[in-house]
Structure 1
Amino acid sequence: MVQSVLDGRSLSNVRADPHKFTFTGLVTCGHCSCAMTAEIKKGRYIYYHCTGHRRKCEEPYVRQEAIEAQFEASLRRLHLDTEIFDLIPRALKESHGSEKRDKEQAGARLRSEADRLQQRIDTLYVDRLDGRGTLEFHDRMAKLWREERARCLRDLEALSGANDGFVDDGIALLDFARAMHSGFAQRPLAQKRTALKLLVSNPSWADGKLSVEFKQPFAMLEEIAPV
């Protein structure tokens, strides 16, 4: 999903199924929590209404353009001016720099511990060849130190496998979120659906109003955005 969102060209080239509507499966009725379904009127106008599966619902039909306009207004709550937004990458990179240094230090400790255990195993093998100590002692200690060394190597591999690019991907996604409101109605159907699945949580429609909550970390943008 991250890659598809960041690759705007691939989203733009997706052909929308003519029978698949933008908000189908995304918006529920705020009165009864049933799904909102869509249908075409007069061959061109798309209207949404509550399915009324649980009970008869009095929420009137609503044009798709009305829902789009309110989604655009909601997404505008994520907008930050560039001057403010630029503080986020700086803070994230500073935090990640500190975390990266901690990771490097932890890796050095694990490598040192693995080397120390290997030296112990080698020394134990020489002692065994020279007849120092009992066979039972040698086998028991060798097994213990090999297990400890294997654990060190596993932890070291986990540290080495961490992806340092996630900070840049995260910044790109936050930047995508803060700009999504611009021209929302004109964006391709596939891009709108993908963006809403990524950004919002359980949007609902009732009494002509859209209720939207944002998922984390995008809700952070709303919290720091100027009123």
Structure 2
Amino acid sequence: MNDVSRGRPQAFIFDCDGTLVRSMGMWLSFYPELVARYGISMTPEDFAATESLAMPEEIAYYHRMLGIGESADALIDEAREMLREKYAHDVLLRPGVRAFLEAAHAAGIPMAIATSTDEDLVRLALAHNGIDGFFSALVTTEQAGASKEHPDVYDLALERLCEARGIAVPDHADVWVFEDALFGLMSSGSAGYRRVGVYDYEGRAARDDVQRTCEVFVDEFTELALDADGAPTCEVDRG
């Protein structure tokens, strides 16, 4: 990993949960809370195997495996109602996010979101925190047709961002992906994107693994700045 810039970035693509907003702790408790309504006791670790799935796929999986809810669709609706309340009122920005987005906007860098979470939930959190105006596109893994174990969602986010801004799709090496999830960092890197790894202490990825799987690593956005070319760089000397 190094901080060496290779020129002006043409776009920034951000994950949302665990990267822009501090929501992973809520997600870790959400699934146990949901199944507890049906008298089932599970720990956050019991849900680790399905973390990369989009929320509807994950909920449908637990309907099949645990037999909870009248149907998969009914359980998904119940879960979404619970989540709407949390995203509209409880999910907050990580430290330094707003200042970094303002700096990137001032530098003229187009920005998009690529997320595994339902679009309506992400938009609630963005609006609640007053940062929805920074992003020209928002794409979900459900829309992309693949989990973040594949780079499809980043590719689609870039395409829609460029379409919205009326610009040509740039080379992936000129685009930065901001992610906390190890599988997202790995898949975006395999597609040629440059990566900012954002450690989330509430998530499941080990800090050392995140640090090894990106070009720039930070514990918080307060450590990030833009260099003279507009590329992200860490202001903390880690030796």
Q: TM-score, normalised by structure 2?
A: 0.21
Higher relative contact order (CA 8 A, sep 6+): 1
Of Structure 1 and Structure 2, the greater helix share is in 1
TM-score normalised to structure 1 length = 0.22
